[in-house]
Chain A
Amino acid sequence: MLLSVNRLKTHFTTPDGVIRAVDDVSFKVDKGKVMGLVGESGCGKSMTALSLMRLVPPPGRIVSGEMFFDGHDLLKLNSEEIRKLRGNRMAMVFQDPMTSLNPVFSVGNQIAEILRVHKGLKRSEALDKAQFLLQRVGIPDPSRRIREYPHQLSGGMKQRVMIAMAIACEPSLIIADEPTTALDVTIQAQILRLLRELIETSNTALILISHDLGIIAEMADEVAIMYAGKIVEHATTRDLFAEPLHPYTIGLLQSIPRGEEKREKQLRTIQGSVPKLYELPAGCMFNPRCKYVVDRCRREEPELIDSGGGHLVRCWVDVKKQ
C-alpha cells in the first residue's frame, strides 16, 4: 500500500455557508497502479488532489480524516517535512502548463532547481540530469531546448516539461490533474502514451483526474466517480464500465456520444445541472437529477457500500433490478 486516504474532509467556510468540497472521501492506491478520479466541475476531484499535497487554498481547510503515504502520516507532518515529500516522493502535473511554469527561468533551470533542492546535486550535474529528463519525455533536441523559456515551447512541449519536472526525483506517486485537457487529440495521445511508459518502467503510481471517461478507460486500473464532494461509485475500470451501478455513472456513460448511434436518435442526457455546493439537496445529492429516485432518496443520505466483489456504490436503489 502506497497511499491510503481515510474519511478525508476538506471544507471551505464562506459567507454563503460551509462548502464541503471533499466530503468523507476514502481510497487506496498501490504501487504501479493508476487510479482514475472522475467527475464534473466542482465535484471535488481537484480539491482531493490538493488535499493530498497539503496545498488546499484558504479559506479551505482539511477538517478531518487521515492520509498515509509511504509510511508518513501526511496530516501530522510540519510544513518543512511536507515540503521534502512534495516534488520529491509525490509530484503533481497540472492541467494548464502555460500558467504552472515560471516564465522568467529557462526550462532547464526549472528542472535543475528541483534536483538541487531535493537531491543536493551541483548545478552542472543537475543540468545534465535535466537534459536527460527532457530526452526521456520525448522532447527533440534537448540540448537546445534546455536553454529555452516556456513561451518558446508549444502546449504539448510545456506539458512534457511539466512531466519531466514531476519525474525528476523519481517519485513513487504522481498526481495528474486533467493533464491533457488543454491539448489537441493527437498530442493528447502522445502524452498519455508517455505517462503509461513512465508508470510501467518505474512502478510509479498515478492518480489521474479527468472528466473524460475515454481517457480513464484507456489508462486507469480502478475508478472513483465523484459527485458534489463525495465518491458515489468506486470499482475496477472493467467492472465500472461493464456494469455501472450508480445512476449518475450510468447517465454519464450514456451521455457520451459514441458515434455508433443513428443520426436521428437523440443523445441520452442527465436532466438538470450540477448543484451548487452551498445549496445541496437533502438526502442523496443526486436525487433531483436521478431517474431512479424513490422517497427514501430525498430523506436519507446513502452510505458508500460494497455491492459485492469490491464494487462500491452510494445508492439506495438497486439499479440492476430496475
Chain B
Amino acid sequence: MSNELLSVKDLKKHFHVDEGIFSSRKRVVHAVDGISFELAKNEVLSLVGESGSGKSTTGRLILKLLEPTEGKIIFMGEDISNAGRKRMKELRREMQIIFQDPYASLNPRMTVGEIVEEPLIVHKIGTKQERRDEVANLLQKVGLNPEVMKRYPHEFSGGQRQRVGIARAVALKPKLIVADEPVSALDVSIQAQVINLLKELQEEYHIAFLFIAHDLNIVRIISNRVAVMYLGKIVELAEVEELFKHPLHPYTQALLSAIPVPDPSRKDRKIILLEGDIPSPIDIPQGCRFHTRCPKMIPRCKEIIPPLEDFGNSHVAACIRAHEWA
C-alpha cells in the first residue's frame, strides 16, 4: 500500500514487576499484547479504551519512547523496531507527540518562544531569524499572539499551554503526531477550541494522527477510523460511523451505551451495565479476556482466544459470537 505511513505488526510490550523484596517471583504486566494495525498518510486513527487497556503504551512504543518486547513497527517503509537512538532522532522530525498534561509537559524555565523553537534548532532548520519568524507564524496558527514568545508557561491557562504544546509538535511539519489524551485535562468550553484547532492543522498540513482518548464523543468528531482496546488487545476496529452505528464487540457496545447523554429526555435509555472491574493486566483471564465482564459470555469464551475477524466494510472484531448479531 503506497499510501501507508505506519504499519504495526503483532506489537507487544511486557513489563516485569517485582513481587516485593522478600519474593523472588517475577510477574509480567502484559500492557500491549500483540496488536496490528495500519495508518495511512493524512489519516486520523483513534485508540480508545479504559485505563490499563494499553493505549498510551502503544503510542509511546510507536515513537520508540519505549522499546517493544516483540513485533514490528514500519514507518515510511522502514522497519524502526530496532532502530538506534541516532536514527530515531532523525526520524522524530517526522513523528511528534502531544501530551495530556499541559502543566507537566512544558519546561517551566524556557520561554514559550524557546519551547516552540527547540525542535527547529535540534534539527538544524533555518537561520536564527528564519526560525524566529517561523515561531511567530506557528504561534499565530495555534491562536496565540506572537508577542507571548517571551513569556513563560506558568503565565498561561491550561488551554493556552496545550496550544503551545501543539505549536511545538507541528513546528517540523511531521507526517505523524501521536496525541495522547490532548484535551482531557481541559475545561469543557476549552476542549472544543483545541479539538477545532487540531482538525484545522491536520487538514492544512496533511498530518496523520494517532489519537489516544477515552472520550468517545470527541473521538467521533475527529477520527477516520477507531480501534477499541481492552487489556492490551484490539477487540474491534472500523470506520468511525460504522463503529458507532454497528458496534459488534460486546465491550464496544457497553462502552458506547455508557456515555452519558446530555439530554434528560433520554434519561431512561437502556444502558448495558458491565459487572465487576477491569481485570489486572498481570492476571489476564483465559480465553477471551473480556469474558469475566461480558453480558453475552458462553462457556466456549473461557477457552477460545477469539481472533480478529473481518465482517466486511473493513470492520474487524474479536468475538466468537459477533456473527450472531452482525
Q: Which residues of A contact B (CB under 8 A)?
A: 40-41, 140, 154-157, 184-190, 192-193, 211-218, 237-238, 241, 251-253, 255-259, 261, 263, 266-271, 273-274
Residue from the list B160, B216, B259, B262 in contact with A213, Cβ < 8 A: B262
Residues of B within 8 A of A253 (CB): 262
Closest 9 CB pairs of A and B: A214-B260, A184-B50, A255-B192, A40-B187, A259-B220, A189-B258, A267-B192, A270-B189, A257-B217
Residues on B with beta carbons closer than 8 Å to the beta carbon of A267:
192, 195-196, 221
Q: Any chain A CB within 8 A of the CB of B204?
A: no
**B258 engages A186 (CB within 8 Å):** yes
In the complex, which of the residues B193, B260, B277 contacts A187, with contact meaning CB atoms closer than 8 Å?
B277
Could you tell me if A211 and B187 are in contact, using CB atoms closer than 8 angstroms? Answer: yes
- Give the contacting residue for B188; candidates A211, A217, A258; CB below 8 A: A211
Instruction: For the complex, give the distance between the alpha carbons of A253 and B264 in Å.
Output: 13
A232: min CB distance to chain B, Å = 13
Beyond the given pairs A193-B273, A256-B262, A257-B195, 17 more chain A to chain B contacts, judged by CB atoms under 8 angstroms and listed by A's residue number, are A40-B188, A41-B187, A185-B258, A188-B260, A189-B273, A211-B187, A214-B260, A217-B261, A218-B264, A218-B267, A251-B189, A252-B188, A255-B189, A258-B217, A259-B216, A259-B217, A259-B220
Q: A274, B187: Cβ atoms under 8 Å? A: yes
Which A-chain residue is minimally distant from B220 (CB atoms)?
Answer: A259
| A273→B255 contact, CB < 8 A | no
Q: How far is the CB of A247 from chain B (nearest CB, A)?
A: 12
Q: Is the CB of B189 within 8 A of A274?
A: yes
Q: Which one of B195, B220, B259, B277 lies within 8 Å of A214 (CB-CB)?
A: B259
Interface of B is mostly: helix
**Complex interface: chain A residues within 8 A of B57 (CB):** none
* Shortest CB distance B164–A (Å): 14
Contacts of A218 in B (CB 8 A): 260-261, 264, 267
* A-side contacts of B199, CB under 8 Å: 266
User: Chain B residue with minimal CB distance to A187?
Assistant: B277
Does A259 lie within 8 Å of B260, measured CB to CB? no
Q: Looking at the complex, which one of A41, A186, A192, A269 makes contact with B254 (CB distance below 8 Å)? A: A186
For B190, list chain A residues within 8 Å (CB). 273-274
Kindly state whether residue B130 has any CB partner on chain A within 8 Å: no
Q: Give Cα distance in the complex from A184 to B265, angstroms.
A: 24
Q: Distance (Å) between the CB of A216 and the closest chain B CB? A: 8
Contacts of A192 in B (CB 8 A): 260
The size of the chain B interface, using a CB distance under 8 A, is 42
CB contact between A269 and one of B189, B214, B267, B276 (< 8 Å): that residue: B189
Set A252, A259, A270: member contacting B244, Cβ < 8 A? A259
Contacts of A190 in B (CB 8 A): 273-274
User: In chain B, residues 246-274, which have Cβ atoms closer than 8 Å to a Cβ of chain A?
Assistant: 254-255, 258-267, 271, 273-274
Q: Mark B181-195, 1 if CB is under 8 A from A, else 0.
A: 000000111111101
Q: State A238–B266 Cα separation when bound (angstroms).
A: 11
**Interface check B119, CB cutoff 8 A:** no
Decide: A156 near B277, CB < 8 A? Known: A186-B254, A259-B221, A273-B160.
yes
Shortest C-beta distance, A217 to chain B (Å), equals 5
Known A211-B188, A255-B192, A267-B192; contact A185-B259, beta-carbon cutoff 8 A:
yes
Rounded to whole Å, the gap between the CB of B324 and the closest CB of chain A is 22
How far, in whole Å, are A266 and B255 apart by their CA atoms in the complex? 25
> How many whole Å from B40's CB to the nearest CB in chain A?
16
CA distance A289 to B281 in the complex (A): 45
Inter-chain contact A261/B187, CB cutoff 8 Å: no
Q: For the complex, is B76 an interface residue (Cβ under 8 Å from A)? A: no
B80 sits at the interface (CB 8 A): no
Known pairs A217-B260, A217-B262; A257 contacts B274 (CB<8 A): no
**A28 → B minimal CB distance (Å):** 20
Cβ contact within 8 Å between A185 and B214: yes
Contacts of B146 in A (CB 8 A): none
The residues of B that contact A188 with a CB separation of less than 8 Å are: 258, 260
Contact residues in B for A269 (Cβ distance below 8 Å): 189, 192-193, 196
Given A185-B50, A255-B192, A268-B192, A263 and B187 contact (CB-CB distance below 8 Å): no
Asked if A217 meets B263 with Cβ closer than 8 Å, knowing A157-B277, A273-B159, the reply is yes
A160: shortest Cβ distance to chain B, in Å?
10
Residue of A nearest to B251 (CB): A186
Assembly CA distance A201 to B214 (angstroms): 32
A-B contact pairs, 19 of them (CB 8 A): A40-B189, A184-B278, A185-B50, A185-B214, A185-B255, A185-B259, A187-B50, A214-B260, A217-B261, A217-B262, A217-B264, A218-B267, A256-B262, A259-B220, A263-B240, A267-B195, A269-B193, A273-B159, A274-B157
**A184 contacts across to B, CB distance below 8 A:** 50-51, 214, 278
B201 interfacial by beta-carbon distance below 8 Å: no
Contact, CB under 8 Å: A241 / B189:
no
Bound-complex Cα distance A6 to B198 (A): 44
